[in-house]
Amino acid sequence: MRKEILGVLCSGRGTDLQSIIDAIGRGEVDAEISIVLTDKPDAYALERAKKAGIKAVCVNRKEYSDRESFEKVLVQELRAAGVTLVVLAGFMRILTPYFVRSFPGHIMNIHPALLPSFPGAHAHRDVLAYGVKVSGCTVHFVDEGTDSGPIILQRAVPVLDDDTEETLGARVLEQEHIIYPQAIQLFCEGRLQVEGRHVRILPAKD
């Protein structure tokens, strides 16, 4: 079977990226990361990639006048690196239809809440403000909306009375580090069948 080539996009510290690097190292994800891209020069994800021997490139959003010219460079870098699955791992930019159509059905995102509740950039803050008792994380395919694509995997965690954004975020992140590698491996095994909004997980092949 052809190995999937991952391009991982990050904006910050990159613990989700690290979980994927580690899962590949343990043989739990049968893929290769050919490039890590960030939109910020100080993203710690760049260091994590370099330590793992992965090409790391910053495409500094501040150096581009508009989203389209910024995204054109991202797409060029991903194509040049032979990427077959784009993995958004804490990438805090909304992508335009141009980017999404460049890799149709081949972009995944992880969101730190149980979608379709609490989309957007401040999920933990919004969860705590609303007063829900359960939160979690969601891996989904990316469509042209915001956090709206077909859902692949979810995990729930309790929200405690004395939670802060930090304590809740840490509890959710533990689950993110489990389900993101799992979802990528399901994709690599060809076991994700998308039918409209539904993602069916096909049984493992022998």
Residues binding ligand GAR (CB under 6 A): 10, 12-17, 89-90, 110-112, 121, 123, 173, 176
Q: Smallest gap, in angstroms, from Cβ of residue 121 to ligand GAR?
A: 6
CB neighbour burial string for 175-198, b if at least 16 within 10 angstroms, e if fewer: bbbebbbbbbbbbbeeebeeeeee
Q: How far apart are CA 79 and CA 87, in angstroms?
A: 14
Q: Smallest gap, in angstroms, from Cβ of residue 91 to ligand GAR?
A: 7
Q: Smallest gap, in angstroms, from Cβ of residue 176 to ligand GAR?
A: 5
Nearer to ligand GAR, 154 or 189 (CB): 154
Q: Is the dihedral of CA 127, 128, 130, 133 positive or negative?
A: positive
Residue 111 falls in the annotated catalytic set: yes
- The one catalytic residue in 111, 124, 140, 177 is 111
Partners of residue 153 on adjacent β-strands: 139
Length of the chain: 206
Nearer to ligand GAR, 77 or 176 (CB): 176
Nearer to ligand GAR, 170 or 189 (CB): 170
Q: Smallest gap, in angstroms, from Cβ of residue 154 to ligand GAR?
A: 12
Nearer to ligand GAR, 178 or 189 (CB): 178
Q: Which residues are catalytic?
A: 111
